[in-house]
Each structure stands twice: as C-alpha cells, then as structure tokens.
Amino acid sequence: MQTHPALARLGTESAFSVLARAADLQAQGRDIINLGIGQPDFPTPDNIVEAGIRALRDGHHGYTPARGILPLREAVAADIHARRGVEVSPDRILVMPGGKPTMFFAITMFGQPGAEIIYPDPGFPIYRSMVEYSGATPVPVSPREEDSFGYRAADILSRLTPRTRLLILNSPNNPTGGVMTREETNALVAGLEDRPDVAILSDEIYSRMLHGGREHVSLLGYPSLADRLIVLDGWSKTYAMTGWRLGYSVWPEALVDSAERLCVNCHSCVNAATQYAGIEALTGPQDAVDTMMRAFDGRRRLIVDLLNALPGVRCPDPGGAFYVFPNIEGTGLDGRTLQTRLLEEAGVAAIAGASFGETATGNIRFSYANSEDNIREAMGRMRELLA
C-alpha cells in the first residue's frame, strides 16, 4: 500500500495512552489515582440525561441537518448572547461531534506547505499534530510562568510573519490553566487589526471554568475580528459530557458553508438525541454546573498548596480549566521520568509537560478532576516518591 506521507506526521494525545496504562494497572489490582484525565469526574446532570433518553423515546432516530437542529443552534446563540454579550446568528453556528473536529476543519482549511500557523506551546497536542498533518509550519508561542501562564499580546504578535495564515488561541488553557487577561486580549486584537489576512481559531472550551475572580474574555466580543474568527466551544467540560461527543463552533460568514460541507463529507450530523440533550443543558437549570465549579475551586486551592509544599516543586495558581502545571525541575527529574515513576511506583496518573509541547519538559500536568481525599493521597504519595 502507498499511503499519503502526511499520515506519518500525525501526532496523538498521550492522555489516552496514560489512561490505558492506568487501566491496565488497575486491572492487575493496583490502586491508581487518576489525575491524568481531562474530563470532569462528575456525571452528566440528570436533567440532561433524561432529555437525551426522552429524545430517543420520542423517535429522534434519524439524520438531522448537517449544521445541527435549529432549536439547538438557537439555544447556542442565546447562550452566547447571555454569557458573552454578543449577537451571533444561528446561521453561523455549527453543531459538531465534540470540540476536536473544529480544530481539524479549521487547521486543514488554512494549513498547506509554505503557510505558518501559530499555536500555543504548551498546548492541546492536537493543534500541532494537525498543523504538521496539513503540511504547514507550526510556530509555537509560549506563556510565562510569572504571569500564571497568561499569554502576552507582544509574545504572540512577534510570531506573525507574512506567511502566517492562522493563529490558534486557547484561554483558559490546557494544560496550564492560564487565562489571558482583558488588557492583553485588547492589545492582541489591536495588533491583529493590522493583519486582516490572518484567521483566528479561538478554543474557548473552558470558557465557563474560571477561578479566583478571573474573567473569560471571548474573542467574539471584538467586531474587528468577526469576519475571520472561528470559535470552538462545547458541552464536554462544562456539562461533564465528554462521551456524548457534542460541541459547536461559530464561523465567519465566508467560511460557514465550507465548514458545513466538511461536516457532510465527514460525519453527516451529530446524533440526534445528543443534540436534544444539548438543548436541555443550555436552557435547563445550571445548579449542577455551579456545584461542579465550586468543587473545582476548592480542589484547585488544595492541590496548589500541596504542590508548593513539595521539595523542588513550584506551582503557579492557575485561573481556569481544571489543571495545574507545576515546574518540577528542582526535583532533579524531568516530566517524562516523573510521569512514569508516579504511575508505576506510586500509582498516580499525571501527564508529562512534554506531551503538550517542546518547551515544557520540566513540567507535569495534574488534572484536579478528582476528590479532595484522592488529591491529598496522591500528593502524599508524590512526597514519598520525591523523598
């Protein structure tokens, strides 16, 4: 067989291999605390599950429009208006099977040999993987630990060249938890006004997950970007719905028909019952989300304190998502070694910083989507390992 050489350039997400190894160890009877996985440890709220079941009982078994059912796109538009204060026509919203396909579509729309795509490093590994796959040149940009991993506009703008075609942003960020401030976002947008040829993919999947008084500044709030901005968001994290595979994206008018065509070519539509569950999530009671966010906030403070008390570990207090990204260089171990030893010797799953980019070999990501008791136990085991 002769396959396309781009296949060899596809990367992956090591969270899935750590998860598989943790499951193997568990099957052998080992007690594993999973701080590796990027999904809430809460169940999907009952009202949402019931809405999905009801939709199946009501006979929603068939294809839907590729863009997604209109009531769901209207609910997304209303939610964007309520939370971000911006009017977006449902015609520019596409319902997607999770957050990832929007990356796939946006990056393949702009990526080609000779093009440059700026992406966050450390960042969600699929950005770089897809940029490489497309044949474009990946151009990493890093946040600073001293800013609690918030990006500075000047650092991003300095990466622009005449060949830049797409800028990928992600705030709050995976894996650092960093949040870009309003001031830096304003400065970034002002700089981008001189470059109307650069498209932007803003991954806002953690837009509802903010802590310690941080605010989410959506790029949808900047009219000067509207004709070249793609926004990715979804239900996976906010509503503990990772396995339902439900996300959405907002597209500029000039791209939405091409994006819809990619949906038709790729997956036809998102499964119908899931879309009805998505309406209930957005329009039904939000108290389960509030409860989950309060729990994450308490766990964040706990894990940051426990990590900072460990020898050789330095952990900024992140403003968003449910991750911490301590610097562990002072332990004498690099992130990959610590990842392996934590899992194999201490039974704690975490993900090495290098899995999220070349700049983060001295970091490790812990997800605090786990109970306070388990977080305490895991940090105790890490203390023993480091001793």
Minimum distance, C-beta of residue 194 to ligand PLP, in the bound complex (Å): 27
Q: Which stretch binds ligand PLP (CB under 6 A): 97-105, 140-148, 218-226, 291-299?
A: 97-105
3-state secondary structure 48-104: HHHHHHHHHHCCCCCCCCCCCCHHHHHHHHHHHHHHHCCCCCHHHEEEECCCHHHHH
293-322 positions binding ligand PLP, by CB under 6 A: none
Q: Site residues for ligand PLP, window 180-209 (CB under 6 A)?
A: 203, 205
> Is residue 121 within the footprint of ligand PLP (CB under 6 A)?
no
* 122 touching ligand PLP, by CB under 6 A: no
What does the alpha-carbon distance between residue 91 and residue 8 come to, in Å, rounded to a whole number? Answer: 37
Q: Say if residues 363 and 342 touch (Cβ distance below 8 Å).
A: no
Q: Tokens 């590994």 correspond to what residue?
A: 125
Report d(CA 25, CA 30) in Å as an integer. Answer: 5
Q: Which is nearer to ligand PLP, 164 or 170 (CB)?
A: 170
Cβ density class 35-52: b for 16+ within 10 Å, e for less = bbbbbbbeebbeebeebb
Kindly state the helix (H) or strand (E) to which residue 164 belongs, with its residue range.
strand 164-170
How far is residue 141's CA from residue 191's CA, in Å, rounded to a whole number? 16
Distance, in Å, from the CA atom of 139 to the CA atom of 164, rounded to the nearest integer, reads: 9
Asked if 312 and 386 touch (Cβ cutoff 8 Å), the reply is: yes
Kindly state the number of chain residues that form the binding site for ligand PLP, as judged by CB under 6 A: 13
Compute the least distance from the CB of residue 351 to ligand PLP, in Å: 11
- Whole-number Cα distances in Å, 155 to 158, 184, 329: 5, 10, 24
38 binds ligand PLP (CB under 6 A): yes
End-to-end CA distance of the chain: 52
Distances (CA, A) of 260 to 131, 165, 249: 21, 21, 11
Nearer to ligand PLP, 170 or 185 (CB): 170
Residue 247 makes contact with ligand PLP by CB under 6 A: yes
Minimum distance of ligand PLP from residue 222's CB (angstroms)? 20
Question: Shortest distance, CB of residue 120 to ligand PLP, whole angstroms?
Answer: 9
Local structure of 293: helix, strand or coil: helix
Which phi and psi (to 5°) does residue 364 adopt?
-145, 145
Among 119, 124, 149, 325, binds ligand PLP (CB under 6 A): 124
Assess 44 for contact with ligand PLP (CB under 6 A): no
> Based on CB atoms, which residue is closest to ligand PLP, 99 or 326?
99
Q: Which member of 64, 171, 207, 236 binds ligand PLP (CB under 6 A)?
A: 236
Minimum CB separation of residue 11 from ligand PLP in Å reads 14
Q: Which one among 142, 164, 242, 363 touches ligand PLP, defined by CB under 6 A?
A: 242
Q: Rule CB under 6 A: say whether 170 interacts with ligand PLP.
A: yes
**Smallest gap, in angstroms, from Cβ of residue 306 to ligand PLP?**
23
In a 13 Å sphere around the CA of 124, the CA atoms on its Cβ side amount to 23
For ligand PLP, which stretch binds (CB under 6 A), given 22-30, 98-106, 277-285, 379-387?
A: 98-106
Q: Which of 85, 360, 77, 41 is nearest to 215 (CA)?
A: 85
Q: In the complex with ligand PLP, which residue's Cβ is closer, 205 or 225? A: 205
Is residue 234 involved in binding ligand PLP (CB under 6 A)? yes
Q: Is residue 353 near ligand PLP by the rule CB under 6 A?
A: no
The residue among 64 and 170 lying less far from ligand PLP, judged by its C-beta, is: 170
Residue 246 CB, nearest approach to ligand PLP (Å): 7
Q: Which of residues 253-272 bind ligand PLP (CB under 6 A)?
A: none
Q: Which two tokens stand for residue 103?
A: 């990356």
Which one of the spans 67-75, 95-103, 134-142, 329-337 is the region binding ligand PLP (CB under 6 A)?
95-103
Q: What whole-number distance in Å separates Cα of residue 106 and Cα of residue 108?
A: 6
Neighbouring C-beta atoms of residue 166, cutoff 10 Å: 25
Q: Which is nearer to ligand PLP, 66 or 205 (CB)?
A: 205
Does 98 help bind ligand PLP (rule: CB under 6 A)? yes
Q: Where do contacts with ligand PLP occur on this chain (CB under 6 A)?
A: 38, 98-100, 124, 170, 174, 203, 205, 234, 236, 242, 247
